[in-house]
Amino acid sequence: MTYRAELSARALKQMHGLPGPAFDSLIEVMAEVIDYPDDPLPMPAALRGNG
């Protein structure tokens, strides 16, 4: 199974104007999440179902 990142309207808005290094970091994180979706990255409470 492969995963694809989807960006919300708010994320898109925030993405514009990001400094280059910050944009690169965003790409890195998204690529990592797509490649390793089960990696124990921080999972906000709302996504764990108890938020």
Least distance in Å: CB of 31 to other proteins? 4
| Contact string (CB under 8 A) for other proteins, positions 10-49, x = contact | x-x--x--------x--xxxxxx-xx----xxxxxxxxx-
Instruction: Return the closest-CA partner of residue 30 out of 1, 3, 10, 48.
Output: 3
Please answer whether residues 16 and 26 qualify as being in contact, where contact means their C-beta atoms are separated by less than 8 angstroms.
no
DSSP 18: -
Out of 2, 7, 19, 21, which residue is the one contacting other proteins (CB under 8 A)? 7
Place of tokens 């925030």: 14
Which stretches of the chain bind other proteins, using CB under 8 A? 4-10, 12, 15, 24, 27-32, 34-35, 40-48, 51
